[in-house]
Amino acid sequence: MDDRQMSAQVQVELSSKSVTAALRTKMTIEAQATLREQERKEREQRLATLDNYLLKSTLSEKEKISLRQELAEKESEYNRCKRAKLKKSDFETIKVIGRGGFGEVRLVVKKNTNMVFAMKLMRKKDMIERGQTGHVKAERDILAQTHFTNDWVVKLFYSFQDDETLYLLMEYLGGGDMMTLLIRENIFSHDMARFYTAELLMAIDSIHKLNYIHRDIKPDNILFDNAGHIKLTDFGLCTGFHKDHESTYFDMVERASKLNLADLKTQRFDKDLAHDYKNKKRNLAYSVVGTPDYTAPEVFLQKGYYTECDYWSVGCILFEMLAGYPPFVSDDSVQTCLKIINCTETLQFPDDVEISPDAQDLIKKLVCPKEDRLSNLELIKKHPFFKGFDWDNIFEQAPPYMPKLKSPFDTSNFDEFEMHEEEAEEVEHSGKEKPKDLAFVGYTYKGFLNVVNSPSKKRHASGVTLSQIFSTHIAN
């Protein structure tokens, strides 16, 4: 290579680096501007929440002033907290509690504290190769957006990254997920199914009001808190109405299009298939492709969809609560997909399980073509299936399932996973700019509840703490 060729190559490399640096700067500025605006709104909301609480309280004026002063102190502490850089070694892994195609979830403790979290780890390389960067951002965004305002969504406390991995530090909910409970109970009673369907509907409505669609509502993604109430998790397929769809689903549609509806096994559900379904269910949850059992037909067909697709999933889950299996379960995912697309001909109720006429009617109104689907919470509340149900005081009701936990570290409601040797090693940050890092600019986040829930939280003469005020706050 002569001098002119070397000079040209150097210029190309410098030009490429300059473009990358300029793009990163632009993306960083935009991310910071968005974050500042979000933080401003959250500060105003925290102050409004406290003012609203104090207005309704019988606290003395001195106690009210003290609480306002403490909030101001916590805001300053929060600003300092946001400047501190987190790394994986700041947390001690207790146990792996979940593993899937895109990463895993661990129970961890923040060192030098007693703060317990569920840490979700995702490999950057996998996210990029599988076209998941948009979904990763959407998940982080909705978790950050609901950190303080929504008790139907699992709370995000931190998000950060190193050279190879993305980390989400969320509240640990020891009650396990609904799939575990369904496997354990087989079927729910009418009242139990009604209660958790009502909670699920309210949870979904709360994210729809933020202009998000979950798209992946299934028992695996419904967690139970320590009191037995549900929270939504795993927003990896969540969309703000403009992201790309999950390509693996459309591969199934293409394969299903080559089959004939007449080839489907549409006879009444046989018990051997039910047994196989229970055994395979967990393994499907851990795979990259997952299961299409709860996915609406319009999502498969790319015909355009809105919030209606999440209500389809609710109908499928209600069916499973009462029947013991989802409505379109088959020998393989392709047959399930074809059954879903032809739902008007393939939806069948079992003969050997009693499902009330009201429950069947609601399921039919949810598991149907989107133009006919009942997809408005206020209308669903009026359905006979919910006659007499107290929607306004749902958190005051005793849930049908009460987790029995021996300690904050109890993982008895989660499956067992082996700890791989390489999981104990931390990838150090090289400090060098990598092109793949551009995909995750602005990913870092620290939630305000970190400082409110800190071990040094202050208790006033009345016994009231900011933690109690804010932790019981539920957005309308």
Active site residues: 216
* Environment class of 250 (CB within 10 Å of its CB; exposed 0-12, middle 13-18, buried 19+): middle
Residues in the chain: 476
User: CA 467 to CA 460: how far, in whole Å?
Assistant: 12
User: CA 333 to CA 340: how far, in whole Å?
Assistant: 10
Phi-psi region of 374 (alpha: psi -120 to 50; beta: other; left: phi over 0): beta
Task: Using alpha carbons only, give the angle 150, 152, 156 rounded to the nearest 5 degrees.
Answer: 65
User: CA 146 to CA 144: how far, in whole Å?
Assistant: 6
Query: Is 470 within 8 Å of 155 (Cβ atoms)?
Result: no
User: CA 66 to CA 61: how far, in whole Å?
Assistant: 9
- In one-letter notation, the amino acid at residue 331 is D
Query: Is 218 within 8 Å of 293 (Cβ atoms)?
Result: yes
DSSP assignment of 94-149 = EEEEEEETTEEEEEEEETTS--EEEEEEEEHHHHHHTT-HHHHHHHHHHHHHTTTT
* Environment class of 99 (CB within 10 Å of its CB; exposed 0-12, middle 13-18, buried 19+): middle
User: CA 341 to CA 346: how far, in whole Å?
Assistant: 9
A 10 A CB-CB count for 7 gives: 10
Query: Is 181 within 8 Å of 403 (Cβ atoms)?
Result: no
User: CA 319 to CA 349: how far, in whole Å?
Assistant: 8
Beta bridge mates, 103:
100, 122
DSSP state of 421: G
The torsion angles phi and psi of 101, rounded to 5 degrees, stand at: -70, -25
* Two tokens, residue 215: 């798209």
Whether 120 has a binding-site annotation, put simply, is yes
Annotated binding site, which residues?
Answer: 120
Annotated binding site for ATP, which residues?
Answer: 120
